[in-house]
Structure 1
Amino acid sequence: MSVSVAACAAAVLVTGMAAPASAYSKGRTTQLGVAECATDINERGTIVLRTSLYRDGRTQPLPGGLTSASLINNRGHVVGAVDGQTAVWNGTETVLLTPVDPEDAYVFVNAINERGDVVGTSSQLGGASRAFLRTREGVVTVLSAPGVTAGANGLNDRGQVVGYVFEDGVQVAVRWNRDGSMTRLAPLAAGAGALADDINDNGQVVGYSYDASGSGRMHAVRWTRADRVESLDPVGTAIAGAVDVNKYGRVVGSLALDGATQQGFVRDSSGPTRVVPLSQAGRVEVLTAVNDYGQAVGCSFGDFDESAVVWRS
C-alpha cells in the first residue's frame, strides 16, 4: 500500500456528466463526513487524513507530534510532516528526514512498507531530483544515477522500488531491484512517457503511460511480473491513471470517460475495469489507496469543498 505525490499527476480534475450506469462497479462510495482527503488505509481499517487518522467512525489525533500525514502501514508507522518537514513516526519516536544531498531543498516520502522502510524523492528547488530508499535503521541509499532526474514512488516488502527517471527529456517508468540494478518498464508506445506508482509483493506494477497519438492522452497501466505492459482503460476513456495495487492484484486509480466526470476505478487481477459510483451526484472523485481487504479510499471534490471517501465492494 502506498500513495505517491507523483500520483497526484493522475488526479487531474475533469468535470462533466456522470459515467454511464453500465460502467459502474458494484459496491458503494461513502463520504466520511470529514473535510479532508483520505490518502491511505491499512489492513486494520485505519484511514489517513491530512491532519488526523480515522477509524471506527471517529477521528484520532496524529501520533508523535505529526502535524500532517499521508501514509500508514499495518504496524501503525505513519509518514507525514512536522510543521512542513517530512517525518516518520516509527511507533516509538518521530524521525525528521533531511534531503539526501546538501544541494537539495526538500524531501518527500512516497511509500512505506511493512518493515518501516520508506522511499521518496529528494530535490532541488526547480532543479534535479534523486530517488532514494531509507531503511528503518536510517541507512539511506540513492537509487538513481548521478545527474539523472528521478523519483521513487512505490516499495514492496521484498525491497523492490518503482518510480521514474528522465532520459533524453522523456519520463521513463523504472523498477530498482534488490541488487541495486534498474529495469526500464516499457510504455504503451515506444518513446512515450510513463511512470510507475506502486508495486506489490508479487511484482505487479501500476502507474500510467502516454500513447503515441500526440494527443498527450494518459492511460492507466499495469506491468506484469514479466514486465509486459497493458492498458487498464475501458473503451471511451479520455484520461486515466493507476495509483495503488494490493497483494491480490486489485488496482485502484481514477479515470474520466469521454464527456464524463472523473471518478475512481477498480480493476482486479482478472475481469474488466469498473468505474466506482460517485458518493454524490455532481462530484469529482479519485481513489488514492487500497488495502488487502479490497477497501479503497480517496477524495471527493465539490465546487468549493473536499471530503474523504471510502469505497467497499
Structure 2
Amino acid sequence: MTTLDEQRIGALLQSAPVPEPQVDVGRAVRDGRRRRRRRRVGGIAAVTALAGLGVVGAVRLDGAADRPAPAPPALAASPAGTTPAAPDSPVTCGASWLPQPIGGPVAVANGVDPTGRYIVGDIGTGQEDGRVVLWTDGRADVLPADARHAAAVNAGGVVVGTTGDGTGWVYRDGKLRSLTTPPGYDTVLVHAVNGRGDIAGTASGARDSHRAVLWSADRPQEYRLLGQPGSAATGITDDGTVVGAMGQLPYRWTPQGAGAALAVPDGYPRASVDSAHGEWAVGSVPDVRQGGAVSMRPVRWNLRTGVVSLLPFPGAAGIAGNGDLLVGDGAPLVVSPDGTSRRLPGRPEVRAAGAGTYTANGISDDGLTVVGSVYENQVHRPLVWRCRR
C-alpha cells in the first residue's frame, strides 16, 4: 500500500459517517474517492473536504439540522417537490445495462463524454482494485492495468485519470501515457479533459502546497502552471475555460489565462466549483451539520453571465452543457435551468417499488444520456439511460 493510499483511507475513515445497517459499498467507495480527492487539494480543503457527504439520504435530506441555513431560492422545496415536466413532455427515457467484460461486485459507470458515445467506469471489489472500462457505442474494453481511477472521457474517446500513487495518466489511441508531475510537487490529481485534449488538474506538494496545471493529451510530458500557488483546477470547457479554486474562493480562468473569482451565494462565506460544461459550472457550499457530517448544497454558475444560483437539492452529480443539472442518488433526477424536471426510470424488468437503488454519475451535453449504476442484492451493475425528444 502506498503512502497516498494510506492517506486516502485515513481521510475516508475520519470523515465517513456511521454506516447504515445495509452498507452500499459502491456508494461509499465513490463518496470516499470524492472526499479523498478534495482533501489532496490542500488550501481548498476547508471548503471541499466534506463535499462527498452532501447526499445524506437517497433523494432528500433527512434528520435535524444543527443550525439554520440561508433560505434557498423559490425553485422547489426538494427534488420531490420540484416542478415536474408536463405529462406530455416530448422527452422519454429508458435504462439499459452496460456489458461487464470482467467480474466484480462493484461495477459502476462514472462518466460520459459530451456526445453520449463514450462511457467510462470501473469494475472491481470496491477496495481500490477497480479496472477502468471504456464503453464505446455499447462495446466494452478494459484499459491497461496501470490505468486506475478514471476521471473523465472526451468526445474523441480520450480517457484521463490518476493512479493510486498520485500519477496522472492519459489513454489515447490505444496507448497509455503518464502525465508529467511539475518539479517541486509530489503528486497530481487529474479532473477533466475537453474536446481538444486539454487536461485540467492540480499538483500537490509538501506543506499542502498546490497549483492548477494544464496538460495536452498529445503532449503529456508538457505542462503549464495556471494561476498562483494555492490554485486548483477541477474542470475545463471545450473553449479552454478552466474552473477551480484560488485559496477558498471558486475561480475561473479564461482560455488566455486571465483569472477572476466566481460569485458566492449570499449568506455563505465560500463555495467550491467541481466541474464545467458549455457555459455552465456546478459546485457546492457548506450547508448544515447533521450528526457528524456537514451537508453540501449545490450551486450552479452561468459562466457567461456570472450569475450563481443556490439549488434546493441534497447534492448534484453533474452539469450538462445545456445547463441540465443531474441529481444523482437514489432516484436520479434531471433538472433543467427553467426548473422543470424529469425522473429517470428504472430498468423495465425491475418494477417493484423500492427495488434497487439507482445512482447517476454523469450526463452528456444535451442532457439526453446519463450513466450510473443500480445497487441490488449487494451488487452494483453499470447502467445507461438514453433519452430522446
Q: How does 1:146-295 map to 2 (within 5 A)?
A: 146=229, 148=230, 150-166=231-247, 171-201=248-278, 203-211=279-287, 216-224=294-302, 225-233=304-312, 237=313, 239-246=314-321, 248-254=322-328, 262-277=330-345, 281=354, 283-293=356-366, 294-295=368-369
Deviations 1:227-265 (A, max 9, x none): 1111232xxx4x21352322x22232436xxxxxx4433
Change beyond 3 A, Cα 1:125–1:39: farther
Distance 1:273 1:153, change over 3 A: farther
Instruction: Indicate yes or no: 2:111 matched with 1:32.
Output: no
Q: Give the structure with the higher percent strand.
A: 1
> Which residue is equivalent to 1:135?
216
User: 5+ residue gaps in structure 1?
Assistant: 256-261
In structure 1, the residue matched to 2:66 is none
TM-score, normalising length: structure 2: 0.63
Higher helix fraction (1 or 2): 2
Aligned residues: 290
Residues 7-60 of structure 1: CA distance to partner in whole angstroms, max 9, x if unpaired?
993475534589859887763444436442212223252211222222454422
1:54 aligns with 2:126: no
Q: Structure 1 residues 209 and 12, CA, compared in 2 at 3 Å: closer, same or farther? A: closer
The change in CA–CA distance for 1:22 and 1:179 in structure 2 (over 3 A counts) is closer
- What does residue 56 of structure 2 align with? 14
State the match for 1:259 in structure 2.
none
Q: Secondary structure at the match of 2:332?
A: strand
Deviations 1:247-297 (A, max 9, x none): x22232436xxxxxx443312233324444455635444322212342011
CA contact (8 A) 1:118 1:133 kept: yes
Query: Does structure 1 retain, via aligned residues, the 8 Å contact 2:286–2:297?
Result: yes
Contact kept, 8 Å, 1:63 with 1:89, in 2: the verdict is: no
> Percent identity at matched positions?
25
Report the residue type matching 2:244 in the other structure: G
Deviations 1:97-121 (A, max 9, x none): 232232x322121100111110011
Q: Scaled by the length of structure 1, what TM-score is found?
A: 0.76
Q: Over aligned residue pairs, what C-alpha RMSD do you find?
A: 3.5
